[in-house]
Amino acid sequence: MIIGVPKEIKNNESRVGMTPAGVFELVKNDHTVYVQAGAGEGSGFFDQDYQQVGATILDSIKEVYALSDMIVKVKEPIAEEYGLVREGQIVFTYFHFASSEALTKAMIASKSTCIAYETVEDEEGTLPLLTPMSEVAGRMAIQQGAKYLEKPAKGRGVLLGGVPGVAPGKVLVLGAGTVGIQAAKMAAGLGAHVTIVDVNMKRLRYVNDVMPSHVVTEFSNEFNIRKLIKTHDLIIGGVLLKGAKAPNLITRDMLNEMRPGTVIVDVAVDQGGCVETTKATTHEDPIYIIDDVVHYCVANMPGAVPYTSTVALTNVTLPYVLKLANMGWRSACNLDKSLAKGLNIVDGEVVYHEITRAFDWEPVLA
């Protein structure tokens, strides 16, 4: 198969869909890989790194789309790319179709087959191609939170680890899922006191079993959260209700209960956030302040660490890329039910119920 790796052209996206390690595996399996010139630069992978493992570098994005049977990328195609996607082409990337009718209509019109990273789902119901980005965001949340707790950054002026004779800072983590556990682990590593809350007792038992004793668990309810926000310096939002908007665990009136300079990092911002006052921000302008509480609500946190994010993402996408390339999408999806869940559009036909539901279209025929 011929696989194409275009350069991401979405604003501020420096990740790339394949590393030289991925090209190496594909070439070893007798596939041809075209990489657009400069595609990996933002993540620290240069054209010669790809060439050394057998890729051919193409100058333009047009050539990459025109010559490839399968496109492997990171973000959904943006308007400038719509016309480049061809009939019968496989596009394997994050799509988030339900949030863009224009994109959905464009991919239907292209008659391509779109396999979305975010809906590939394993037997346990987890989303293996989303997990690494939650791991990155959870770990990063503490790095960012620690920075904004500094006085010049408008925070309380608290050092998370404390020093001998001064108690460490306190971190409250909402949600003990992937984001929450990674955040708790980083905060604990810095020496902070960590409280993690969830409604899922299994998750709390797990945290209690594996974390050091300065990470404590509490059940997530309004009474406990109102109590905890008064004494915690940094609050991480890592709550997720599958397929729904995140619940507002912190309401506007609660900000007055927090001490001035408290920092909230609402990682769940991409699902609407778990703080009533959350609104999405960017890496250029990541924070805003309401009632003396610093809000950090960047919707694409992994974008700030493209090397780590690219490698973490491609580690999990590559086995699927290899299956698709070796077997073609039909046989690969017949054999691998997790991958089959990624099929959103097949030859221009929507096959994923949530998309038609999002736009009130006629339901997908079984």
Ligand X SMILES: NC(=O)c1ccc[n+]([C@@H]2O[C@H](COP(=O)([O-])OP(=O)(O)OC[C@H]3O[C@@H](n4cnc5c(N)ncnc54)[C@H](O)[C@@H]3O)[C@@H](O)[C@H]2O)c1
For residue 201, give every residue at least 6 positions away whose Cβ sits within 8 Å of its Cβ, in sequence order, or none: 219
Enclosing H/E stretch for 128: none
Specify the residue, 200 or 231, whose C-beta has the smaller distance to ligand X.
200
Indicate which residue of 47, 49, 96, 336 is catalytic: 96
Specify the residue, 68 or 278, whose C-beta has the smaller distance to ligand X.
278
Enclosing H/E stretch for 99: none
Choices 150-158, 171-179, 331-339, 357-365 (CB under 6 A): range interacting with ligand X? 171-179
CA distance linking residue 142 with residue 191, whole number of Å: 12
Q: Pick out residues in 260-279 that bind ligand X (CB under 6 A).
A: 267-271
Q: Reply yes or no on whether 270 is catalytic.
A: yes
Asked if residue 198 belongs to a known ligand binding site, the reply is: yes
Q: How far is the CB of 249 from ligand X (least distance, A)?
A: 6
Structural tokens at position 144? 């960012």
Choices 29-37, 112-120, 146-154, 192-200 (CB under 6 A): range interacting with ligand X? 192-200
Specify the residue, 16 or 240, whose C-beta has the smaller distance to ligand X.
240
Asked if residue 27 belongs to a known ligand binding site, the reply is: no
Q: How far is the CB of 282 from ligand X (least distance, A)?
A: 11
Specify the residue, 84 or 299, whose C-beta has the smaller distance to ligand X.
299
- Between CA 34 and CA 42, with CA 40 as vertex, the angle to 5 degrees is 155
Q: How far is the CB of 182 from ligand X (least distance, A)?
A: 8
For residue 264, give every residue at least 6 positions away whose Cβ sits within 8 Å of its Cβ, in sequence order, or none: 234, 235, 237, 250, 275, 278, 293, 294, 295, 296
Asked if residue 291 belongs to a known ligand binding site, the reply is: no
Q: Which residue has the tokens 């990682």?
A: 267
Q: Which residue has the tokens 């002026």?
A: 157
Name the DSSP class of 285. Answer: S
- Between CA 335 and CA 345, with CA 341 as vertex, the angle to 5 degrees is 110
Contact status, residue 243 vs residue 272, Cβ threshold 8 Å: no
Choices 11-19, 34-42, 132-140, 281-289 (CB under 6 A): range interacting with ligand X? 132-140
Q: Pick out residues in 21-60 that bind ligand X (CB under 6 A).
A: none
**What binding mask, one character per residue, do residues 283-312 give for ligand X by CB under 6 A, x or -?**
----------------xxxx----------
Specify the residue, 166 or 280, whose C-beta has the smaller distance to ligand X.
280
Q: How far is the CB of 9 from ligand X (least distance, A)?
A: 20
Q: Reply yes or no on whether 96 is catalytic.
A: yes
Of 136, 149, 154, 233, give the one whose Cα is nearest residue 193. Answer: 233
Specify the residue, 58 or 304, whose C-beta has the smaller distance to ligand X.
304
Single out the residue of 234, 249, 255, 275 in contact with ligand X (rule: CB under 6 A): 249
User: Across the strands, what pairs with 287?
Assistant: 296
Q: What are phi and psi of 244, to 5 degrees?
A: -135, 170
C-alpha distance from residue 271 to each of 133, 202, 237, 355 (Å): 14, 23, 11, 16
Asked if residue 102 belongs to a known ligand binding site, the reply is: no
Asked if residue 134 belongs to a known ligand binding site, the reply is: yes
Name the DSSP class of 278. Answer: -
Query: Which residues carry out catalysis?
Result: 96, 270
Q: Which residues make up the interface to ligand X (CB under 6 A)? A: 133-134, 137, 174-180, 197-200, 203, 220, 238-241, 246-247, 249, 267-271, 299-302
